[in-house]
Chains A and B, each alone.
Chain A
């Protein structure tokens, strides 16, 4: 493994200054569960790592009446154990609980899961169905962007050089629905064994009024270059009564909407079918 320097700044400003000093030859590191593996495999060879672990501003889960703000350094384990997340954002809890294994969940962060921009990032589908926005800050200033615009390709994000993901802001889906019982949120994942990366994953948020679906948000992972919303399938569900026939139709539409590949984990054909099935089950849940 190539040698690298290691810095532990306590403020964003110091982190930016270090980044500027190394001018592209340094990397931010959060839990390191993606980045350190990539350094060991020599995929990336930075001269320095700039750790985000000591920056207070990036830590903590803050609940307000309107939603939750997840500091980017929130560990997967903390999301898994937060009782308010379990109650109001159950799909996010379900995703946190099946991400890798205890040792990884104890250090991996939600910000790292996003910034790594893997198509299989388990936190992405549940956050994509909830109108999540991301707070970014760089040496040039701050901006907020919708989570959907963040992913640009496998491993590619819209982050500018030196920019840091500060927080992930999620409006509480229940606070916007008159009857909180009429809303369901589910995350499902198919892998070979417990700690594996997803062969495919799916998340659904469904608001019903009587028998009719008023709102439907669907997302899937490991089935396209980036974690994606399934907007065409959503349209088929909204305004309709959810019947077995409709769900059959939706599963087929999902198969067409995604663009999976064959790799070491699975095949294109299996991914299409299993994603359709998981979306159907997630809507039914």
Chain B
């Protein structure tokens, strides 16, 4: 079964023909070539595939593509501002060593964004809870938590 679905992707109206058993991540990576979203476990455990759907963080590896009809999807590529400027969270990850191999980074940043949009001044405990669905094999999390914490001041001014 194949259908054409219409939805909003990083602020633009788009459509794609997709098979009914495909997950959102396959549509993003294979059809739209948005390869910033990573495929890790495929089972909801690692969060590397995290994107926002209508502002909420979701594992795109287990979200049926058909379900985004009429919805708004934001991927890591959608965070770039004018002239490909980094989003304050991205900048903070660069500045505070929140990135090592980088595989978890897009998912981490999308989780951080979803959390900060809802709670712009999180405590460290709330930051940990906010990224509890994202695994990182490199950093040991300390730098990631620093990056998110330090992005807060900037974030409040700019978003």
Contact = CB atoms under 8 A, between A and B. Distances in A.
A103 B21 contact: no
A104 interface: yes
Contacts, number: 77
B44 A102 contact: no
A31 B64 CA distance: 10
A53 B133 contact: no
Interface residues of B, number: 30
DSSP majority for the B interface? Answer: mixed
A32 B128 CA distance: 25
B29 interface: no
Interface string A27-67: 00100110011001100000001010100000000000000
B64 A103 contact: no
A103 B47 contact: yes
Contact of A77 (B1, B45, B56): B56
Contact of B44 (A2, A4, A33): A33
B17 interface: no
Given A40-B43, A194-B132, A6 B64 contact: yes
Contacts of A5: 1, 20-21
Interface string B91-119: 00000000000000000000100110000
B114 A102 contact: yes
Contacts of A101: 47, 132-134
A51 B67 CA distance: 9
A233 B136 CA distance: 43
A8 interface: yes
B154 interface: no
B63 A4 contact: no
Contacts of B9: none
A106 B57 CA distance: 7
B59 interface: yes
B122 interface: no
Contacts of A4: 20-21
Nearest to B57: A103
A49 B59 CA distance: 19
Given A3-B21, A103-B111, A194 B47 contact: no
Contacts of A8: 66-67, 69
Contacts of A104: 44, 59, 133
A6 B133 contact: no
A15 to B, nearest CB: 15
Contact of B62 (A3, A32, A53, A77): A32
B19 to A, nearest CB: 7
Interface core residue of A4, A6, A77 (most chain B CB under 10 Å): A6
Interface of A: 1-6, 8, 29, 32-33, 36-37, 40-41, 49, 51, 53, 77, 100-104, 106-107, 194-195
Given A51-B66, A103-B58, 7 more contacts: A3-B19, A3-B20, A6-B64, A51-B67, A100-B133, A101-B132, A102-B111
25 contacts: A5-B20, A6-B1, A6-B20, A6-B21, A6-B66, A33-B44, A33-B62, A36-B62, A37-B43, A40-B43, A53-B67, A101-B133, A102-B57, A102-B114, A102-B132, A103-B50, A103-B111, A104-B44, A104-B59, A106-B56, A106-B57, A107-B63, A195-B45, A195-B132, A195-B133
